[in-house]
Amino acid sequence: MAGRVALVTGASTGMGRATALVLADERARLALSSQTSARLEQTAAECAERGAEVAWWADDLAARDAPARVVAAAHERFGRVDALVNTVGPLVRTSGILDQDDDCWQRHFDSVLMSAVRFCREVVPLMLVNGRGAIVNISAMSVRHYHPQLAYYSAQKAALAHFTKNLAREFAHDGIRANAVMPGMIASESVQERQRIAARERGMTE
């Protein structure tokens, strides 16, 4: 990845931050975006300390026009986008499917699925000009299992995996690779916080 431009969404925390740091070690030129400005700036600083050239843009990536703004800014700064990693996807547990109202489904539809779709629509034309590119969309292992508390989240991640299959097939002959990664439980900040809350709740009931 040395010298190549990688755009990472959701780069302020969790897998997005970890991905940015790995790419920094690979000497990629990094375009980072996320909603949380302070944490994103911290990630960018850590990447710069590792020797990477970094630019970052804080935006609400679930908003319809945000991906176009971010990609345009990245292209203006670096002149190209060689790789895209979509990690956006908040994970909020509910007690069950009946508690997942329309707002919950719409919020995760926009942030998990449509954010990635919109970023792909913006970067693929740039990659076609270059004759190559790589896209990684973070799905989830929960799409293969039974989790009523995560039905809204897993449904969007399943849709993202299917979208990625079609993206890969359509642009394979243009030198663009698209892959969906389906990780299991990751010791991210949000997961660790949920574990701490669960431990406190168990302590109160024992």
Domain ranges of the chain: 5-205
Cα distance between residue 6 and residue 79, in whole Å: 12
Return phi, psi of residue 62, to 5°: -85, -10
Q: Is the pTM of this model over 0.85?
A: yes
Inform me whether the pLDDT recorded for 50 exceeds 90: yes
The model's pLDDT over 92-108, given as tens digits with 9 standing for 90+, comes to 677 778 878 888 888 88
Which is nearest to 10 in space by CA: 30, 35, 27, 29?
A: 35
**Structure tokens belonging to residue 94:** 């509910």
22: amino acid identity, one letter = V
pLDDT at 115: 96
**Structure tokens belonging to residue 55:** 């630019």
Cα distance between residue 57 and residue 8, in whole Å: 11
Report strand pairing: 133-138 vs 29-34.
unpaired
Inform me whether the pLDDT recorded for 192 exceeds 70: no
Cα distance between residue 171 and residue 25, in whole Å: 29
**Structure tokens belonging to residue 87:** 């990690």
CA distances from 46 to 7, 41, 51, 150 (A): 16, 9, 9, 32
Inform me whether the pLDDT recorded for 112 exceeds 60: yes
Q: Tell me: domain 5-205, CATH 3.40.50.2300, correct? A: no
pLDDT at 100: 81
| Active site residue ranges | 153
Please compute, for residue 93, the number of CA atoms within 13 A of its CA located in the half-sphere on the CB side: 11
Inform me whether the pLDDT recorded for 11 exceeds 60: yes
pLDDT at 197: 62
The strand pairing partners of 54, in sequence order, are: 30
Other beta carbons less than 10 A from residue 191's beta carbon:
13
Could you write out the three-class secondary structure of 57-71?
EECCCCCCCHHHHHH
Please compute, for residue 58, the number of CA atoms within 13 A of its CA located in the half-sphere on the CB side: 12
pLDDT at 206: 55
Query: Are the C-beta atoms of residues 47 and 24 closer than 8 Å to each other?
Result: yes
Residue 182's pLDDT band (cuts 50, 70, 90): confident
